[in-house]
Amino acid sequence: MARRALLGTALCAGLVATLLTTGPARADHRDDAWTVSAPAAHEPTAHIRLDDTTGTVSLSVTRRGRTVIEPSPVGIVTEQADLSEGLRFLHRKDRLVDERYRAKSGKRLDRRVRMNETRLSFATPTGARLDLVVRASADGVAYRYVLPGGYGAVLGETSAFNLPPDASAWLGAYRVDNEGQFAQYTAATAPTGEYSDQALFETDGGYTLLAESDLTGDYSGARLAHDQGTGTYRIELADDRVQADGPLATPWRAMVTGDLATVTRSTFTDDLAPASKVPDGSWIKPGTVLWTWLAGGREAGQSLAAQKAYVDYAAERNWPYEAVDAGWYFKAGEWDTTDPDWQTNSWMPELVDYARAKGVGIIVWIHQRELDTPEERAQWLPTLERWGVKGVKIDFMDSEAQPMLRWYDAVLAETAAHHLMVDFHGSTLPKGIQRTWPHVMTLEGVAGEEKRTNTAAHLTTLPFTRNVIGSMDFTPGAFQRVGLRPNSDAAEVGLTVAYESGLQMFAGTPESYDRRPLARAYFDQVPAAWDDTRLLTGRPGREAVLARRGGDRWFLGGVYAGAARTAEVPLTVGPGRWLVETVEDGADGLVRNRRVLRGGDTFAVEVVANGGFAGIACRWRPGVTTCHR
């Protein structure tokens, strides 16, 4: 049933799909080569070719006539059928996918999807059937395999991506928690090993971010395998055998493609995913969060008094949420969940009531092992809902193997049923999950603020890699971690905009905010849901300046790596006159600068080594002196 539902995605509410052709391809007049182009002119085109001698299929991508992905193998192997060679062409079907949907978080809330889709059907000499479904949109190309069933477990894919050897590459070493640091290579010089499938390359055709979408427990998570000296990146699955009990549609192998601004702004992986499974999302509310782990550690999590003090601070600042991290449900061994009276003994209901009276919602941390069985979830989730908890931060999944992905399928449905927003840590990557399950507000899957090994270059790469595919719980704002983070205070403020997260967790201490009133005032203003996103300027590993619109104001976040410089920032947020207020590094701490500019003007920011800035731009007219409200 799950696969039938997946294959029926085209019939879900809100989808407008127009069947254009049935039968052999009309445009190509050949049975061994096909093209699939985006509806917009001059945008990505997929080229699919069948080798008449070997029966193998390859796929390449061009953009404006230039190479994006060189011809690369496609195919899948199961216990009963090798669907990677000996194939013959059967027929082709084309359609236009035209959708509108509204997200709860992300780079923009209102989304429009237009993709051309082609389904190419092939068969082996024994009659085994493989459908290759290819989509092309203005910002990407993707493909997936569809099998009718009865072929047994999947043993692997022959899918790979061939890049020009000299293509610039930004890669993160693969880890089960997806917290590898990004580093720059060329496609061929990257060391032999496994890499995250969120890999960014620069070719003649522009930038391309490899990604995955619509990953569920029906399949297995992917990573990239590479041999130094080649430009080939192979798909490897987390499981040696992927159980397939019926018809199978694999996740999308996605290539987010365009200039750097297009890739950064793209919602392609969300657009490929199925529509929302949450019928009423009125309870899902993004927001900023006072996070207490880096502020006070487990000791704070074990103290009702400490948590009430944090709630008081969040209420004073009008921050909508406070997050209680590890420690709260195993307080110094006095009680735990093996105690039949643990729900009665917990002080969490008192904290939730206290916070509610002050207009603050509570989010709680919980280890995945407390939720790994249906019985445990039936104990925990209704209890948290009854207490009035707004969301859960679930930690330490550390796997993308099929059994864990099936756990995700279960917990996603159950947390939605109990009106609990979700923040996943030690987790998979977004991969379209936030469209299908919009109560997933953010995921870690990043070497974030907790890591002591971060570099400024890594920080400037994240907007173009990990954060492209969905919300990222980096947890900025840890001003107290002097010497443990590579960037300046102004850059730390800028991260709250440069990085998008539906729950933006501030990782500092109240004392560190109070010592930086300009940062604190900025945090009071910054939203966690955006109406639009634009890249103002950037280069992975060097600099990233993003503008995100909340209502009629644009918030600016800039992060830089390397030596101090005078940075030039184009204000490409619309015509007219704008007041731009920036928070920058000064000789004695943070300073505020104000400028009145016209849309399209360029302004200068003095950036310290590994520095940055934050800003707000609002419409200017005589008498307007600040963008703060």
Under a CB-based contact definition with an 8 Å cutoff, are residues 267 and 471 in contact? Answer: no
Question: Among 322, 325, 320, 317, which Cα is nearest to 300's?
Answer: 325
Nearest to 501 by CA among 286, 293, 292: 286
- Both tokens of 459, joined, read 């920080």
Residue of 236, 395, 423, 500 marked catalytic = 395
As beta bridge partners, residue 193 has: 226
The neighbour count for residue 398, using CB atoms within 10 Å, is 16
- Strand, helix or coil at 308? helix
Distance in angstroms (rounded) separating the CA atoms of residues 139 and 10 = 20
Active site residue 316: no
Three-state SS for 598?
strand
DSSP strand pairing (76-78 vs 82-83): antiparallel
Nearest C-alpha neighbor of 506 from the set 483, 481, 486: 481
Task: Please answer whether residues 257 and 417 qualify as being in contact, where contact means their C-beta atoms are separated by less than 8 angstroms.
Answer: no
Element (H, E) at 4: helix 2-7
CA distance 360 to 290: 10
Q: Which of 212, 450, 543, 584 is catalytic?
A: 450
Distance separating alpha carbons of residues 409 and 395, to the nearest angstrom: 16
Is there a contact between 239 and 218 (Cβ–Cβ < 8 Å)? no
- Contacts for 359 with CB less than 8 Å, ≥ 6 apart: 315, 318, 320
Is 450 labeled as catalytic in the residue annotation? Answer: yes
Q: Which of the residues are catalytic? A: 395, 450
